[in-house]
Structure 1
């Protein structure tokens, strides 16, 4: 616990020294369960009360995909007041309480102070079948095995139709979206193009005007890749 608090203090101090406003936050998961999530939640609440005001000012908690569901972090919020970041993919991976999407996100958004725009995370799961090398027991040799998709893993790009469906279901709610994708900026550029093509109404919400001629997929990726290479 002491090491975690020290890490939070260092990250908070860095943001303070950069003179960033309250929009700059430190996102964490609830962590270990310590036997069960109820015990882990109680431990988290107690630790939160020991944090400095500087850390609490920037700390936000995210629902995860393995241990602490959206319902569980909402209960932690009730005991602490910590703002909550909603993670879309995690919600579908871990929602044993069967909460409804829009109502859950609305509850998450309400946990944020009025001076800060709420944030949510969006990503798509990996879907490809992968070939992996596995060591053969009692041998130096390796064999190729087929690994089915891990739905908790992040894809290279964001599936546009999932994103469009989510955004339309959240009409009227105000928040920022952080994309989590392996291809980083390329995923953002591709999603911008996809929104302009498939959902101009959603593109407009993000200030994207429908271009007279959309760039083809290959040229968009090639240009972005060239820029990335130049930076390296």
Structure 2
């Protein structure tokens, strides 16, 4: 079991998502930004290893405008050694890496332009994992997309688009159940059609479900992951922020709720991404809970 947090480390004095305005684009700006972002990414990973945080979601802006037609800078060739070094570090430390492309990635959109831009973004982000030399257990996480007034048609469009994706993207793509439109049951329909794994979000399941108990929902999602090709179940974890609208993520880990959630695993191995505002602070506390409950494997702890 691994614990992680997404994109930004608030304890360090750097960012791995430095970018600039499209109107200011130049090859020199791209090169400087990517160099800076990769240096910071390495620092974040080293921080995470030191704190036993071995699951990390990299931000989408490592390469500014990475999937935009304006970006013709050969960043893959220029930064291949740096990406490879990061991948070597990830493997040596027993870490797991993912990306969660931005909300404009909608594979079931009725707009062909949006679909093509979405595919370009997935190709871009997947290519970074390829440059790192990471296997297909490093994933690209997206939602099914929009409802557009017809659930069945929306799901059918996703399935049709998925079948046309490059193989390199298909092998990394996972779908997440969301809190308003597409439940775990809907995601299972997509999985049954094309075999795509389901990244389970416990908080979204609490907001939108069909009565499946948490333990059953976890088992259903985990069964969609092939042990060798996909690795163990990835999931997002959060809880409701008290006094806020339904679906608002908590700002910090509620340890008692987290302990209660862990009772639903019943021995299931899972990598948990905390979608909680205070990032690594909550993740470090979650690691403390796992240590207390003896849920962190001794061999994983010894890698640091």
TM-score by length of 2: 0.57
Render the CA deviation track for 1:111-130: whole Å, top value 9, x for unaligned: 111211221111122214xx
Aligned residue among 107, 112, 116 for 1:2? 116
Provide the C-alpha distance between the structure 2 equivalents of 1:88 and 1:114, rounded to a whole number of angstroms: 21
Aligned to 1:120: 235
Indicate the SS of the match to 2:157: helix
- Structure 1 window deviating more from structure 2 (150-159 vs 101-110): it is 150-159
Aligned residue among 60, 66, 69 for 2:183? 69
Aligned to 1:206: 296
Render the CA deviation track for 1:89-111: whole Å, top value 9, x for unaligned: 0000111x212221121111111
Render the CA deviation track for 1:42-77: whole Å, top value 9, x for unaligned: 111111100111001100000000100111111111
The 5 A counterparts of 1:209-228 are none
- Structure 1 window deviating more from structure 2 (36-45 vs 67-76): it is 36-45
Report if the CA contact (8 A) 1:127-1:151 is conserved.
Answer: no
Report if the CA contact (8 A) 1:65-1:94 is conserved.
Answer: yes
Counterparts in 2 of 1:40 and 1:72: CA distance versus 1, 3 Å? same
Highest RCO, 1 vs 2 (Cα 8 Å, sep ≥ 6) = 2
The 5 A counterparts of 1:92-103 are 92-95=206-209, 97-103=210-216
Indicate the SS of the match to 2:282: helix
Please state if 1:168 is matched with 2:258.
no
Report if the CA contact (8 A) 1:60-1:83 is conserved.
Answer: yes
Indicate the SS of the match to 2:171: helix
Provide the C-alpha distance between the structure 2 equivalents of 1:105 and 1:175, rounded to a whole number of angstroms: 9
Aligned to 1:109: 222
- Structure ID, larger Rg: 1
Provide the C-alpha distance between the structure 2 equivalents of 1:161 and 1:77, rounded to a whole number of angstroms: 33
What are structure 1's unaligned runs of at least 5 residues?
Answer: 129-148, 209-232
What are structure 2's unaligned runs of at least 5 residues?
Answer: 1-114, 299-304
TM-score by length of 1: 0.74
